[in-house]
Structure 1
Amino acid sequence: MTGRTTPAPSQTPSRLRLHLACVCALAALAGACKAEPPVTGAIGTSDYRARHPIVLADGTRSLDVFPTGPGHLDPRQGDDVDAFMLEYRRYGRGGMLMEVPRGLPPVRAVATERTAGLIVQRAGQDGVARRDIVANPYAVAAPELAAPIRLSFQRMQAKVADACGTWPQDLGGSNFAFDNSNRPVWNLGCSTQSMVAAQVADPIDLVRGRPEGRIDSVKRIRDVGQLREGKDPSTQWRQDGQTSVKAQVGN
């Protein structure tokens, strides 16, 4: 009768160590091949600047000019056109598009054409040549409503990389782990970043600082002289009167 062969005691630990090594290697390979979860599905950072970064990209700048009279620009819109032309000269790319409404009643159509001519004339006074403005008509859907003359050009702008309003997590009580993690929701800070990007006059300021301006040599010489004399070179602000606010408003 043949019995079952039992492995030698000296060989059992070696086989166990080999088996454990193979399991660890397979686990490492499986972990390396694991796909990362989507960023919006599992918040990876609590910093809103990392979740909603401000980037530089080409965008459209536009201005709607409404004819307010028999072919003239009111002072408010005239100043708007001047500022728009100045921005185009500084940052504009390519030409400027002027879209003129078509399909208006005769009286308003004449006033609109005259206003468009005044805009081109004012642009020339602001340093924008006539050849840089391309005029195209656009159809008016409701002739009874005010139809503006639309000016637009392309320039580099600052904006948020992703769209605001993304809510991948339920803000209710359905996810106990997330609700008790004390971590911000994904959309937090997106509107703030968008407002900051919209208020930047020159997007390059977000990338690097401006070069140092001219030095006030007169003030520098005066400050150095005061330092040599042991005086304080800072500006001394004078306050007229020492009456307190409480004394002015009474009891």
Structure 2
Amino acid sequence: MARSKQKTRFRPAGLGIALIAATLLGACARKDLANSGVPVDVRERHPIVLRDAPRSLDVFVGRSGGGLDARQSEDVADFAREYRRSGKGGLVAQVPTGARREMAAHDTLNGIRSALARAGVSGHALSVRTYPVQDENLASPIRLTFASLQAGLPHDCGQWPADTGVSSLKDDMRNEPYWNFGCSSQATLAAQVADPIDLVRSRSEGRPDIAKRMGAISKIRDGKDPSTQYRQETPQINSSVGGR
């Protein structure tokens, strides 16, 4: 009887230890679940998304007016071609006011209209708005803006939500990439894509070259190799350089 009472006396203590151990293991499991919730694939951790965003060009107003110089005229022409290719909606020109250079801004705006017309953008597509100049000593450009479909990341790079050092041996032994890894390469890829739609779907096939196709079929019928044989003669180094 004494032994059975002694065993009964220690059962609650053993049960409490088991509950504490289960709680600690559950906390570790929840932490592991949180860590495993971060995607390992860089395309899932830093996805490239498409969105309508503004494109802008600042055309600086000269003090003496006189329209646009060669550099700014070329910039406006390139901006107009980009607007014709991917622009959505109208083109907006924000003109500074209150800088005692209204005549110079007016001449610059006329130069912009002429450059746009030469690039194929009619004057009806341009709407003019004004904004007050805060500091007359700073340059106050005419800002051209239009909306277009652009590729980018849904967040900024350079974020470090977790320590990359050895503060937690358990987490550091996982050998998983840190969160910011691959963010800059994804952002650079999104900025270099000429047409963002190419990231969503491929283009349709172009018109086939019938002459080349029939030539390859004729070679196959004759038992010849239809592949293109590239021959390039490279001179030897000692033949072009005089030796002694």
* Corresponding residue number in structure 1 for 2:214: 221
* Corresponding residue number in structure 1 for 2:68: 73
CA distance in 2, matches of 1:178, 1:250: 64
Counterpart check, 1:104 vs 2:95: no
CA distance in 2, matches of 1:236, 1:190: 42
* Corresponding residue number in structure 2 for 1:63: 57
AA of the residue aligned to 1:58: D
| Displacement of 1:234 | 3.4
CA distance in 2, matches of 1:121, 1:180: 64
| Displacement of 1:149 | 1.5
SS in 2 for 1:117: helix
Number of equivalent positions: 217
Counterpart check, 1:175 vs 2:180: no
Which structure has more helix as a fraction of its residues? 2
CA distance in 2, matches of 1:196, 1:119: 32
SS in 2 for 1:193: helix
Q: 1:226 to 1:38 in 2, by over 3 A?
A: same
CA shift digits 1:46-84 (9 cap, x unpaired): 111111111111111111122457423333332322222
> TM-score normalized by structure 2?
0.75
* Corresponding residue number in structure 1 for 2:80: 85
* Corresponding residue number in structure 1 for 2:40: 46
CA shift digits 1:152-184 (9 cap, x unpaired): 111111111223222111223322222222111
> TM-score normalized by structure 1?
0.74
Q: Structure 2 regions of 5+ residues with no counterpart?
A: 1-21
Residue 164 of structure 1 contacts residue 190 of structure 1 at CA under 8 Å; is this kept in 2? Answer: yes
Residue 67 of structure 2 contacts residue 109 of structure 2 at CA under 8 Å; is this kept in 1? Answer: no
Q: 1:131 to 1:235 in 2, by over 3 A?
A: same
AA of the residue aligned to 1:170: D
Residue 67 of structure 2 contacts residue 110 of structure 2 at CA under 8 Å; is this kept in 1? Answer: no
Of 92-101 and 68-77, the range deviating more from structure 2: 68-77
CA distance in 1, matches of 2:133, 2:199: 40
CA shift digits 1:167-224 (9 cap, x unpaired): 1112233222222221111111111111111111111101100000111222222232
Q: Structure 1 regions of 5+ residues with no counterpart?
A: 1-26
SS in 1 for 2:147: strand
Counterpart check, 1:207 vs 2:207: no
- Pairwise CA RMSD: 3.1
CA distance in 1, matches of 2:114, 2:151: 31
Q: 1:110 to 1:37 in 2, by over 3 A?
A: farther
SS in 1 for 2:189: helix
Q: 1:244 to 1:87 in 2, by over 3 A?
A: same
Of 120-129 and 56-65, the range deviating more from structure 2: 120-129
SS in 2 for 1:135: strand
* Corresponding residue number in structure 1 for 2:13: none
Residue 71 of structure 1 contacts residue 110 of structure 1 at CA under 8 Å; is this kept in 2? Answer: no
Q: 1:36 to 1:73 in 2, by over 3 A?
A: farther
Residue 93 of structure 2 contacts residue 142 of structure 2 at CA under 8 Å; is this kept in 1? Answer: yes
| Displacement of 1:144 | 2.4
How do 1:11-160 residues align onto structure 2 when only pairs under 5 Å count? 43-67=37-61, 70-106=65-101, 109-160=102-153
| Displacement of 1:238 | 4.2
